[in-house]
Structure formats: C-alpha cells, structure tokens
Chain A
Amino acid sequence: MATDTGRTTDTDRGVLEQLNDQAFRRLGVAGTSLFALAVGLFIGYILLVRVDYALLVEIIYPQFTFAFLRVIGIVLISSVLSVIAGVIVGLARVSRTRLTSSIAKSYIEFFRGTPLLFQLFVIYIGVPQLWSGSFPLQQFNYYAAVIGLTLNHAAYVGEALRGGIESIPDGQMEASRSLGMSYIQSMREVILPQAWRNSLAAIGNDQVILVKDTSLLTVLAIPELLSAFRQINSATFDAWTPIVLVAIAYLMITIPLGKVIRTLEERADPATHGGDD
C-alpha cells in the first residue's frame, strides 16, 4: 500500500496512518454534508417553487390513488406467487435428480437472461397469437402482468434460495436423515428454515425490485404509477408535481417492505428470540 515505508520508522507510520484515517473521515463528513446540502436545496426548490399544490390535490384522487392501489394489488399477488414458485424452483434446482435440476437451471437462465420487458411481450402479445379464435381471457393484460412478474421473480427467488440451501453444511441433512426423517421432512424441518434465513436478504432485495418492475407494466396498458405520470404530464405540461407524487408512491411501498423484511430476518434468527418449548 504505502510506497515510502523504507524511510519511515514504525512510530512515524502509526502517526501517519492515524492522520490519514482522521483526514479521510473528515473528508467523508465534508463530502456527504455537501452532497446532502445540495440535494436538500434542490428538493426545497422543487417543493417550494416547482410543485403546483392546487394541481397536486386535484390529481391525487382519483387518478393517482387508483394507480397506486393497482400497483399494490399487483405487487401483493405477484410477490406471494413468486415466492411460492421460487421455493419450488429452488428445491428443483438443488435436486439430486439430474433432469429436475437441469430443467430448473434452464428456467433460471432464461428468466434471468432475458429482459422482463421482453418476457412481458412474449406473454401479452405472443401467447394470445397461439389461439386461432379470439383469446378467451378478458383484461388479459392484468393476467400477463402477474404471470410475467411471477415467472421472472421466481427465478431470482429460486436462485437466492439455492444459495441459502447450499450454504447449509451437509451434516445437517445427514443428521436429519440418520434419524429416519425422509428427504422431504428433512428439507421442511431442518434445511429450509435455515436456508430461508440465509436467503431472506436476497429474496427481500428481489421483492423490492419487483415493486419497481411494475413500472414496466405501462407497456401492457395497465394504468400504473408511471402511466399516471405520463397522462398527467401530457394533460397539464407539469412535470414536477407528478414526479414528486410518483417518487413518494414508490417509496411508500418499498420502505415499509424493507422494514417487513428486516423484521422477518430478526425473527428468523434464533439468537434473538427465546426458547419456545
């Protein structure tokens, strides 16, 4: 690291390093403060000068509220389904049956390796083309949205869970099996609870991304938050009022979601809760 070690004695070096650390910390404080000040000034300017509060009150209901609730609904359904499907993908991925694990691997490769936007088009535009007559589902765009988000995020959840499962020492499965428990019982009672804890952070991270991925649903003609923004913007020529609303709306979902995940992580840690026999 240091190139001038040849000329400095041990004590010199101690002092130097201490100085450097102190200077580094001060630089950090100064830099972040400056950054926060600039951002604060900018936000203040936007909120005080740019946002049209009369318009804000006007658009917040019903248009914006409905878009917000629609996003929440789609997120809730897709999130639950993608975690369930992800557990299946993860279990298939660690299967000792070659066929099962390679099918799961291909699934993950495809859904992680192609853009979600493309996958949404495949489902929304590609699939109905396979019908000769008219496609039987009304409002297929909503189905397509949920299916697309679920299939895509199941791949990420599955891969996160695979990592969690593989981080559990082999001895856990061996101990469980040697007691006469079946593979399924061992997975459910011994491996998955531990693997779940290890993968929670990664799964939670993915679920936050799922929330943000709903912005892509605008291409499926679903009036979500970004569509609402574009509509309001083109009708009123005001950019910053809807921008502020969109930012608040997304953060109103993602910040509580982050809290929920952190709570789950704490609850999954046996050291933080007492014995419950």
Chain B
Amino acid sequence: MTKINIDGKELDVPAEYTLLQACEEAGAEVPRFCYHERLSIAGNCRMCLVEVKGGPPKPTASCAMAVRDLRPGPNGEAPVVLTNSPMARKARAGVMEFLLINHPLDCPICDQGGECDLQDQAMAYGVDSSRYHENKRAVEDKYLGPLVKTSMNRCIHCTRCVRFTAEVAGTGDMGAIGRGEDMEITTYLETAMGSELQGNVADLCPVGALLPKPQSFRARPWELAKTQSIDVMDALGSNIRVDSRGREVIRILPRVNDAVNEEWISDKTRQIVDGLKTQRLDRPYLRKNGRLTPVSWNEAFAAIAAKVKAASPGKIGAIAGDLASVEDMFALQSLMQALGSPNLDCRQDGSRLDPKYGRASYLFNATVAGIDEADSLLIVGSNPRKEAPVLNARIRKRWLRGDFAVGLIGQQADLTYSYKYMGAGPDSLDPQTCKPPEGSKKPMLILGAGALARPDGAAVLARALEVAKAAGAITPEWNGFCVLHTAASRVGGLDLGFVPGEGGLDATAMAKGGVDVLFNLGADEIDIAPGAFVIYQGTHGDRGAHRADVILPGAAYVEKSGTYVNTEGRVQMADRASFPPGDAREDWAVLRALSDVLGKRLPFDTLNALRAALYKAHPHFAALDLIQKGSLGDIPAGSPDKTAFVNAIDDFYLTNPIARASAVMAECSALAKGRVAQAAE
C-alpha cells in the first residue's frame, strides 16, 4: 500500500493502482472516454488529465500513470494529485475543445442523446462557442453487421470497440485503419462482425458512433421504464435491465454483476427484443376438426377437463420447457401431484442428469467467478462460445492471463482461445490420459449439456466425475466439476424434482406416445408423436404450438416476475417489465385457474402465496443471489458407448421460440451460416 494525497485527502492505495483508480477510491470524479476498467489501457483520449506533484510537471493522463510512478515530496510527503485544480480543468477543457472540433452537432437526432458521455462531459468542460473555422472532417459510415449501426462522423477514436473485440470477444473484428486525421474505425473491408458479444460495442461506445441497429430512432433513454431482470436465453442467468415504454419492451441492456456476467451480455440476450412481439400467442386455441380455432378460456379449460377426467393418472404427463420459471414449474408440479401422475420431466433434450445423484452432480460447482481461480480446464462435449458466450469470454479472460492449459473432448470449434484436442467421444474421457498438467491445484472440468443428453448420459456423467476426481478437481476446498447447462429452467427444475417419480415416464417416453394427455409448458425442442392430447402453454407459435390440441397463452420472461436458477445454482429473481399480450396470462395463474376446473384447486391464490409454499418445500429458493453448495450422491458407473459427443447447440441464434420469432436473430443466423460455408471452402 502506498500513501497518496488526492485533493487534500490522504489515503492508502495499492501501488499498482492507476491514478484514476486511486481518484475513484478517494471519491473524486475523473472524466474519461477511452479508459474502461475491463479493457486494456489506451491512454489516447486525454480526458482524464489531472495535475500531479511528484510526477511530470504537466497535466498527466491519470488512466495511464500508476501510483508507484509518483515520487514522494522532499520531506517524504505523499505525492499530490489534484483533480479539480485550475490547471486540470483548463487542460480538460482544451481536450474537450479538440474532441468537439470534428464532432458533429447532431445531438438532437442522435440516439445516444441523453446517455452520451461526450454530451455529459461537454456540459462540464465544453466551451459555449467554437474557435474552429475550417471544415469538419467527414467519415463514411461503415457496415459492421445487423446489430451495430454506425455514424462514424461522431467517432472520437477512443478504440474501446477495437480493444473489446480483440481482448474480451477474442475475434479481432474491428480495427483502426489509416492514421492521424484519416484514422477510421472499421472491420476488415466492412464485413459483419463475427462475435456473439458484438452488441456490447454499442454499450461501450462513449458517443453515438456505434449504436444498436435494431433500436435506431425508437426511443429516448429518459422515456424508458427500467426493470431489473434475468436473462433466460442461456443457463448463465445474465443480469439484465429491460427498458420498456408503456407495454412495449424497447431494449435489453446488461447489469453489472461480477459474479455472473461482469457487464457483458450476448447478442441473443440483447437483441431478442423483436421476437417478443411477433408470433405471440395472445388467446386460447382449441383444435376443432383438425384446425386450431380461437376459443374462450372457459371453453379451452372445459376441453382439457374432459380429456383429463377420461384419462387415468398414469396416462397424464407434463414436460417443462427451457424458459419456464421456477414458480411455473412448481405450479405444474403441484397440479400433477394433485392429479396423481408420476410422469414429469423438465429435461426435454433427454438429459440423464437427475436430482437423485445429488445437487453437485448438475451444478457448475466451481462458479463462474471460480474460472478466474482455476489453473487448468478440460471441456467435454461442449462449445461454451455458443452455449454461454459470456462465460466463454470469462474463460478467455483467464486464458489470456497465461498458465492455463485447456483441453477439449468433443466437436472441434473456434473457441477464441487455443486448446489441446484430446478426442471426439467418451473413450477419450479417461482418468489416465486426461490428467491436468503437473502442479495444477485447481483443475476444472466443464461437462456440456450435449454430452449428457444421450442414452448413455448417466455413464458419461459417472466417467466425467471419475476423471475430475482423479485430476484432483474435487477436494473439500475446491470443486472444479462443472456442468454447463443450456436451458435457463434446467437447474430450477432439477432442484424442484421436476423429474419422473416412482414408475414415471421421462420426456422422451412421454413424447413417443407414453401418455394420453400431455401438459407441455413451453417445450418446443421436442417432437411429440401423434396420438396424445397435447396442452401447450407457452408464448410463441412455434413447434410446440403447432402440435398442440389446446393452446393456453402464457407470459414471456419479461412479462412476469419469476425465479430462475442459473447453471451455478445461483437463485435469481426477475421483475416484470411489461404485460403479456391480449388474453395471455402469467403461467402460474393459468395453471391455478385450470386446477379449479379440474377439481384439484391449487392451494395458492397469489404469487406470494405460491412463493410461500415454494419456500416451505424448498427453502433454498428464498436465498436470492446466493448459491447453496450441493453434495454428490452415488452414480452407478457404466460404460459409455463410443459415439462421438455432439454439442447441444448448433445454431446459436435460434435456440428457443422467442429467438426463432426474431427477424434480427434470423439475419444473424443466416450471416453466421454464410461465414461457416465460406470458411469451409
């Protein structure tokens, strides 16, 4: 720790801190454009100039000067930093004047207006008139893909976007060509960016040069109601903020949570917005003479009641989809229990994970933040870049720090970091050959959902645990055995025990015709054979709705308050940002109303009552934002067959019904497919 005096306040800070970090510690605000705490230091905007005594006798860029670089005074006084002295203020005003020389005065038509760093700081440091009488610089706008719109006249060359794509995203899409006044930010010959995290560059841009394309000219930031929510596009449970105007969701932005998503979100999380408005189920439907016909809630319920009463409890089943909240699944589980059916499953992909193997057998035990501590990694049957791009960025961050051996068993892919390829199938998963490097204290093993969703999934799980144990990944202090789920609802469902009871059928058996009446709670990734009477409760007219005999319209994840448990086992609650369209209702309420008609009234009338019952049955759901560590049960050892692992996700952009309804995601998917075809040539 080193002493430093900031604006007359003396404090102790670590010597490796930059002056800017020290100033923040002291509570002094320093303006900045190019500096970003999660990116490397560029030091090129010069906005963070401060006056120092004990350093160079000129204004100093505080982001690029370390505390240890300053000398103490003649009598050992701490070095002095002045953030608000006349010299610092004048220097910043000068920098601002230079920045504004070429910046257009188009704030009234700029989407960044109202949340623009340059606008805000010009209020503090700008002069009221210009001394510049030459022509302003004009720059051609660039095409960067379907997600980011450019207005390059506004660019101030902070290079945050270039550093983000090079460092965090790892694709190196963007760069600065030319030099001096002719410097331009672009991609290689204006090709679309290839990262799944590219939307973040629009957040990083401190001015209005890079903007989210789908949201252009849609809303002003001050018109939007901001709701804290949780993302369900993957199992990471990224913390998001949903901005809505009236009933319409305008955009989705990340929230900072260092334990989960830092401050990034994937493009699917961000640009799913238009999918929330198209293909929506907004009223109940009933299949009459082979055609789905709009009906009233009562008629739909009556049709269900007739079928349910005619079926024996063993012939009724329920499958929960990937986007269901814990509350919805709890309501459906309670209903199935009341009906006396053991046929329940939340694993529509056929995953062999089971709560009876212990909670630690299906969690990302090391936690996302634990990736930073790990010192070697084996990925089995997974492509984290597609299954959880933000988590993949975290792995890359760890890899960039060095001394991090990554091995991969499964399908080869560009993960944005280098790895040793160790085989394609379970036969490569051998405790002898999969040893981490000598001296690895915290090895980690990521087991993908694809490796478990196969008939020998339980044997793969047992083998992977064996490998992890042999590698020393499971000790009392460190558990490096990590299951990477792809479905947001999965851990919540397994925690609830939403799996077949004694003698019950699993999702695959139910879909193949094992039941006469099937409740389908938003499971769209499973083919249901003809025959059964299917009640589809969901949000979008997707595969599940096409197969349905009754459709009960539900609420999408931004339209209800719900609990989600992410792949680490972290319980997080999302608030409601908007309302379901038309007659659609929150799913637990639909199930509650239906239970009344079926004569099995569920014992809760409000969401709070439901939660009280839920917390009574499963107390850990009440511990929001926390992870309850799990234990490991007995897993029968088997021998997995030799079939190669197939990743759970093939097309990152089209993994769920909301994404498939989104035109933006369809465009991204087509572009990504084109890139793959081009690379194969």
- Whether both chains belong to one complex is answered with no
